[in-house]
């Protein structure tokens, strides 16, 4: 389901009122913004021109080359077999965090999905990955949708707290999956296609989203938090995650391990908004009531990126 572009960024600088409403201190250093990588939806299906095992190993190698440990959010139904266990074990062995992304990837805001059904599905997700030593009780909502009613939002927050979970939110959302869909379509049509245009669009897209959310964070919080970037376990990242990591470093951002990022106190915030969800920074901005004229909904979606990709013939 599509979820995700380019809101025009505005000048940085927090007002005194916003600063007064933000008791959290910055967890970043003076060496530039910090960013950790979080990856959703590992799967055992092959991509065009790339078997699943190779896709997985290439993403892991990009992280190893950067000496970086990510958080992998596992949707149980995609890896509930022997091939899935073989896929997850190298992540565990390399020291990456394994988080719960539910079992069935249900759309929580749907009227067809009850609170009780969603809680049961979250518990089923943990049953699949809970025995891995690197499993951490981080829960990421599918589609970044945390409930469209008070009953759902607060009921799930209570369930997470009762079961020892912290939300596995991300501060920087993006639409890498939409770019990957274009790349995959192209490779199906022409296996020897030049992928550089997809690489360039991908890097520019992620950079623009990072700049937007970091700028919004500075306006809302008065500082840059330890960011977490949401990307997906897709061929796009098997090809170009190394380039993405190098880009952030070259532009002055510090790459940090996911466990360090999630120790920033911002991740304990529970924004009081409905519908709940989106990027944590988006949600905190929405909570203030001061950014309604510029916050789109949903925060990210292919509908925002498709015209840009069409324009450059991706």
pTM of the model: 0.90
- Predicted local distance difference test score (pLDDT) of residue 96: 98
What secondary structure does DSSP assign to the chain, as a single string? ------PPP------HHHHHT--PPP---SSS-EEEEEEE------BTTB-HHHHHHHHHHHHHHTT---EEEE-GGGS-SHHHHHHHHHHHHTT-EEEE--SS---TTSTTS-HHHHHHHHHHHHHHHTTSTTEEEEE--GGGB--SSHHHHHHHHHHHHHTT-EE---SB---HHHHHHHHHHHHHH-TT---HHHHHHHHHHHHHHHHHHHHHHHHHHSS--EEEEEEESSHHHHHHHHHHHHHHHHTTPEE--HHHHTTSGGGG-----SS-BS-HHHHHHHHHTS-TTT--SSSS-HHHHHHHHHHTT-
Q: Which domains does the chain have, with CATH numbers?
A: 16-20+34-311 (3.20.20.370)
Mean pLDDT by 10 residues, the chain (314 residues): 36 30 36 95 97 98 98 98 98 98 98 98 98 98 98 98 98 98 97 97 98 98 98 98 98 98 98 98 98 97 98 97
- Predicted local distance difference test score (pLDDT) of residue 305: 98
- Predicted local distance difference test score (pLDDT) of residue 119: 98
- Predicted local distance difference test score (pLDDT) of residue 102: 98
């Amino acid at each position: 389901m599509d979820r995700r572009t380019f809101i025009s960024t505005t000048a940085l600088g927090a007002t005194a009122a916003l600063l007064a409403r933000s008791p959290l201190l910055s967890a970043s250093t003076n060496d530039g913004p910090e960013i950790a990588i979080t990856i959703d939806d590992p799967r055992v299906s092959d991509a065009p021109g790339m078997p699943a095992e190779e896709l997985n190993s290439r993403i892991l190698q990009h992280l190893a080359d950067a000496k970086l440990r990510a958080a992998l959010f596992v949707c149980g139904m995609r890896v509930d077999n022997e091939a899935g266990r073989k896929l997850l074990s190298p992540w565990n062995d390399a020291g990456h965090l394994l988080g719960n992304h539910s079992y069935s990837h249900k759309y929580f805001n749907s009227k067809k999905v009850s609170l009780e059904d969603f809680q049961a599905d979250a518990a089923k997700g943990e049953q699949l990955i809970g025995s891995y030593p690197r499993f951490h009780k981080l829960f990421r909502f599918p589609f970044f949708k945390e409930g469209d009613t008070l009953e759902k939002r607060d009921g799930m927050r209570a369930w997470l707290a009762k079961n020892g979970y912290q939300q596995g939110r991300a501060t920087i959302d993006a639409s890498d999956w939409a770019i990957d869909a274009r790349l995959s379509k192209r490779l199906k049509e022409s296996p020897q296609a030049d992928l550089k245009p997809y690489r360039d669009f991908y890097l520019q897209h992620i950079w623009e989203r990072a700049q937007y959310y970091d700028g919004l964070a500075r306006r809302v919080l008065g500082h840059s938090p330890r960011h977490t970037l949401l990307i997906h376990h897709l061929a796009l990242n098997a090809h170009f995650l190394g380039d993405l990591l190098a880009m952030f470093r070259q532009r002055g951002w510090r790459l940090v391990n996911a466990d360090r990022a999630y120790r920033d106190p911002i991740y304990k915030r529970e924004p009081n908004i409905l519908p709940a969800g989106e990027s944590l920074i988006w949600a905190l901005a929405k909570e203030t009531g001061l950014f309604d004229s510029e916050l789109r909904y949903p925060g990210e979606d292919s509908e925002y990126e498709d015209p840009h990709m069409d324009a450059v013939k991706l």
